[in-house]
Amino acid sequence: MISQLHRLQGAGCGSQREVSSLHFGRGRRALLQASLHAEEIPPMLVAQHLRRRLADLEQQGRLRGEIVLLPACNTIGLAQQVWGRLQGRFELASGQNFNRHYPELAQETLARVRDLGDDAAHNVRQLRRAMHEALAALSAQAPVSELQSLRQLLLSLAIDADVVLDLHCDNEAVMHLYATPQHAESTRQLGACLQAPLALLAEESGDSPFDEACSTVWMKLQAALAGRHPVPLACFSATVEHRGETDVSHGLAAQDAEGLLRFLAQQGFIEPGEELGPPPAFDCALRPLAGCMPVTAPRAGVVVYELPVGAAVEAGQRIGEIVDPLSGESSPLCSPVAGLQFARELQRWAQAGQSVAKVAGHQALRSGKLLSA
């Protein structure tokens, strides 16, 4: 294992932050990063189990590629302890979400690439080289903030990866995934390995989150070069939501680490062996992200849930209620569509109009920006 420290640019006077990356094996690259939203703790524990297992697998000579692990990829967010609470979703200096606004490199890559031909593997190497040049040019054009530096660093490590897994968690939720419909089969395999009951698919969900910056660039390059040069979709990227914020235990973390390693074995990065063979049969439902519908509070009050996360619901079915503590009146919380109630807010107080739960329906009903803030 090789450990590297990457210094972020743009820090305030008298301070300096670094991000650590751990590199196991050699060859084609897979990248896994934990807790880009720094207050989402479960992925960091999963990363510690991955760290130990990857070291063992490397010692056993079972790695068939390079696996890069960022055990805590957002050191800016980890330092944002405010009034005793970790505030790692938005950068305090700018108010921007750490998982939005990653550089869109397709056009600059096309402007810089040379020597493409009829060999798809050769074209991938050339395009990745041009992507690195385009990303480096962003830093050279103007001074970058610490947040911009973090985005550019993470993307630079991911450009050469065939597989990118961005490890997150929700408030309260079942294990679920976000990916693109063009990678439906790989998403289904990942879901089976992790025993995830749901994957939400969208080609573009809005505001360029990290996983889409890694995968959709290849869709754009493929479309732009169609009929002239073969370009495969060279990166499968997905966001993995490790249940909810309080689902922190060594048992769950070890289980999730083994699922991720099993998927990497299926993708050819690890010699499977007995413990990393094919996963048991498991149906990961693929649903459109545009069919993910919020359950909103009709009034301010105490949120009382009546169904667990992971419950299948019908349109109009009651999932809980809002209780006004002053008047004593209550209002029902009902699902807007039939589907899987897969996530909900951890806080049991809501303001009027606030989303308190999410139901993954079967039909795409929304458009525009599909992710929450």
Candidates 3.30.465.10, 3.10.129.10, 3.40.630.10, 3.40.50.300; CATH matching 2-283: 3.40.630.10
Q: What one-character-per-residue DSSP string does 86-120 give?
A: E--SB-TTT--BTTS-----HHHHHHH-----S-H
- One fold for 2-283 and 290-361: no
What single-letter DSSP state applies at residue 289? Answer: G
Q: What φ, ψ does residue 74 adopt, rounded to 5°?
A: -120, 85
18 near 75, Cβ under 8 Å?
Answer: yes
Q: Which amino acid is at 268?
A: G
Encode pLDDT of 29-46 as tens digits.
Answer: 999 999 999 999 999 999
As a whole number of angstroms, the distance between CA 269 and CA 272 comes to: 9
Encode pLDDT of 314-324 as tens digits.
Answer: 999 999 999 99
The percentage of the chain sitting over the pLDDT mark of 90, rounded to a whole number, equals 94
Encode pLDDT of 184-205 as tens digits.
Answer: 999 999 999 999 999 999 999 9
Q: How far is CA 228 from the centre of its chain?
A: 33
As a whole number of angstroms, the distance between CA 337 and CA 329 comes to: 25
As a whole number of angstroms, the distance between CA 91 and CA 22 comes to: 25
3-class SS at 194? Answer: helix
20 near 69, Cβ under 8 Å?
Answer: no
Query: What integer pLDDT is reported at residue 143 of this predicted model?
Result: 76
Encode pLDDT of 43-74 as tens digits.
Answer: 999 999 999 999 999 999 999 999 999 999 99
144-153 average pLDDT score:
95
Helix pair angle (146-158, 120-141), 10° resolution: 170
208 near 100, Cβ under 8 Å?
Answer: yes
Task: Tell me the CATH number for domain 290-361.
Answer: 2.40.50.100
Query: What integer pLDDT is reported at residue 14 of this predicted model?
Result: 85
The candidate with the shortest Cα–Cα distance to 192, out of 281, 272, 111, 302, is 281
As a whole number of angstroms, the distance between CA 306 and CA 286 comes to: 26
Is the pLDDT higher at 265 or at 11?
265
Encode pLDDT of 213-262 as tens digits.
Answer: 999 999 999 999 999 999 999 999 999 999 999 999 999 999 999 999 99
- Secondary structure element (H or E) that encloses residue 4, with its range: strand 2-7
As a whole number of angstroms, the distance between CA 35 and CA 40 comes to: 6
Question: What are the structure tokens assigned to 113, written together?
Answer: 């690439």
> Domain residues of the chain, as ranges?
2-283, 290-361
Query: In this model, does residue 299 exceed pLDDT 80?
Result: yes
As a whole number of angstroms, the distance between CA 207 and CA 221 comes to: 19
Q: How confident is the model at residue 12 (pLDDT cuts 50, 70, 90)?
A: confident
As a whole number of angstroms, the distance between CA 228 and CA 231 comes to: 9
What single-letter DSSP state applies at residue 152? Answer: H
The candidate with the shortest Cα–Cα distance to 270, out of 33, 56, 74, is 56
Output the CA torsion sign for 120, 124, 129, 135.
positive
Name beta bridge partners: 168.
Answer: 241
186 near 218, Cβ under 8 Å?
Answer: no
